[in-house]
Chain A
Amino acid sequence: MFQTADMFKAFAPFRGNAVVIPGRGGRHWINLSDKPDRDVPLGDPAMGGHASFSFGLAMARPDEKIILFDSEGDILMNMGALTTIAEKEPKNFYHFVLDNGVYATTGGQPVPNAENVQYDVIARGCGYKSTYSFDNLEDFTNNIEEILSKPGPVFVTMKVAPEVENTPITQRVRWQKKTRDQTIADLQRELGPRKP
């Protein structure tokens, strides 16, 4: 098990020019990123949708590398999305999953069968050709360059330490630096018009 913040520090040098959807790890990524207009910290529009959103973005922009940091709770809510992604096989899509075993933003209750689910095996069964699983930072760090050099879709699950929040939502400190609308507007300006 490793820390999400350390994982992002290891990932950052290899980001290149990719679009990054940091998902539930956004609070750590936002202060590391050197390309904020290529970051898409959406917060949580509706749980379970980050994979499909990022997949849609990858389909619309096949010339851009799209990197998602998903969570196991989101995967469990929409597991069928993995089959669609594997079927369309977007070469530019990199699907990382932060598996902390719990619903961290609701107080840390365990997800179903938290100790026994193998998300990389599920992804492979759904048709992802490249899958990885890491439970320590050293192995992740040693493999990140190879992962990002492979054609997508690549699925990477990582056992990370829970960072439990247990205060009412209205009392939580907002970590995003931009509104959602501004985030999208900045990304679209950065990407420019889509090629037909």
Chain B
Amino acid sequence: MADQEGGFSPQTIIDHLKGNNVTHVVWLPDSETNFLYTLLTQEPSLELVTISREGQAFSTAAGLSVGGAKPVILIQNTGLMESGDSMRGWAMGMNIPVVMMVGYRGWTRHGVDTDTAATYTEHFIHAFNIKYFLVESDADADRIQVAFDLAEKTKQPVAVLIGDEFHGFVQR
């Protein structure tokens, strides 16, 4: 497990999005990612598409992907759980190779949850048989690339759970 004190830089995510030729970031802001939002708005190669409920992310991403663009989804675990049918039908059912970066609200390294958003997140993902990777800090960032590669290979959505979400990103 990576060193939690190392922190997770939003620039690390931006670098992976650019490195994977992502064209659109379909997202709904969550509690601790404002640093990331600020960086995204300053990155001309990435177009932000702000949605109002997370289920819309999957159908939007499906349209973008079918049209030849490369979207990524950026939402919180609470919204992911609201999105089950849309994820099933529009992403899994349409074979959309999309990476979804999911803020893991409530997650703790020691596993003692005080937030049911965290309690059910991985159970939910397992129920859909979706592959996922946990990222806590910059030291784990290579898992983001693994997620992009796996999504392309399987033509299915793959999740990256951002375990540092509860602590907030570090700015570098």
Contact of A59 among B55, B59, B63, B94 (CB under 8 A): B63
With A45-B89, A46-B85, A184-B94 as known contacts, state yes or no: A55 contacts B52, CB within 8 Å: no
Task: Name the CB-closest residue of A to B64.
Answer: A56
Q: How far is the CB of B69 from chain A (nearest CB, A)?
A: 4
Task: Judge whether A188 and B68 touch: CB under 8 Å.
Answer: yes
Task: Name the CB-closest residue of A to B58.
Answer: A49
Q: How far is the CB of B56 from chain A (nearest CB, A)?
A: 5
Whether B126 sits at the interface, judged by CB under 8 Å, is: no
> B53: which A residues are within 8 A, CB to CB?
78, 80
Bound-complex Cα distance A42 to B62 (A): 12
Whether B132 sits at the interface, judged by CB under 8 Å, is: no
Q: How far is the CB of A66 from chain B (nearest CB, A)?
A: 9
Bound-complex Cα distance A194 to B52 (A): 27
Task: Judge whether A60 and B69 touch: CB under 8 Å.
Answer: yes
In this complex, which of A180, A193, A194 has the most chain B Cβ atoms within 10 angstroms of its Cβ?
A194
Whether B111 sits at the interface, judged by CB under 8 Å, is: no
Whether B67 sits at the interface, judged by CB under 8 Å, is: yes
> A54: which B residues are within 8 A, CB to CB?
63
Contact of A60 among B51, B52, B66, B95 (CB under 8 A): B66
> A52: which B residues are within 8 A, CB to CB?
51, 56, 59-60, 63
Task: Name the CB-closest residue of B to A60.
Answer: B67
Task: Judge whether A57 and B51 touch: CB under 8 Å.
Answer: no
Task: Name the CB-closest residue of B to A81.
Answer: B56
With A80-B52, A84-B52 as known contacts, state yes or no: A56 contacts B67, CB within 8 Å: yes
- Contact digits for A157-196, partner B, Cβ 8 Å, 1 yes 0 no: 0000000000000000000000011001001100101100
Whether B24 sits at the interface, judged by CB under 8 Å, is: yes
Task: Judge whether A46 and B68 touch: CB under 8 Å.
Answer: no
Task: Judge whether A53 and B60 touch: CB under 8 Å.
Answer: yes
Bound-complex Cα distance A125 to B147 (A): 39
Count A-B pairs with CB separation below 8 Å: 116
Task: Judge whether A60 and B63 touch: CB under 8 Å.
Answer: yes
Task: Name the CB-closest residue of A to B62.
Answer: A53
Chain B contact residue count (CB 8 A cutoff): 31
> B55: which A residues are within 8 A, CB to CB?
46, 48-49, 78
With A48-B55, A48-B86 as known contacts, state yes or no: A194 contacts B63, CB within 8 Å: no
Interface residues of B in 56-87 (CB under 8 A from A): 56, 58-69, 71, 85-86
Task: Judge whether B68 and A60 touch: CB under 8 Å.
Answer: yes
Task: Judge whether B69 and A59 touch: CB under 8 Å.
Answer: yes
Bound-complex Cα distance A116 to B71 (A): 37
Whether A50 sits at the interface, judged by CB under 8 Å, is: yes
Q: How far is the CB of B62 from chain A (nearest CB, A)?
A: 5
Task: Judge whether A46 and B88 touch: CB under 8 Å.
Answer: yes
> A184: which B residues are within 8 A, CB to CB?
66, 94
With A84-B49, A184-B94, A194-B69 as known contacts, state yes or no: A57 contacts B56, CB within 8 Å: no
Task: Name the CB-closest residue of A to B61.
Answer: A56
Known interface pairs A56-B60, A60-B65; 13 further A-B residue pairs with C-beta atoms within 8 A, sorted by A's residue number: A49-B58, A49-B86, A55-B63, A56-B59, A56-B65, A57-B66, A60-B66, A61-B68, A80-B53, A84-B49, A184-B66, A187-B66, A188-B66
Q: Which residues of A contact B (CB under 8 A)?
A: 42, 44-61, 78, 80-81, 83-84, 87-88, 180-181, 184, 187-188, 191, 193-194
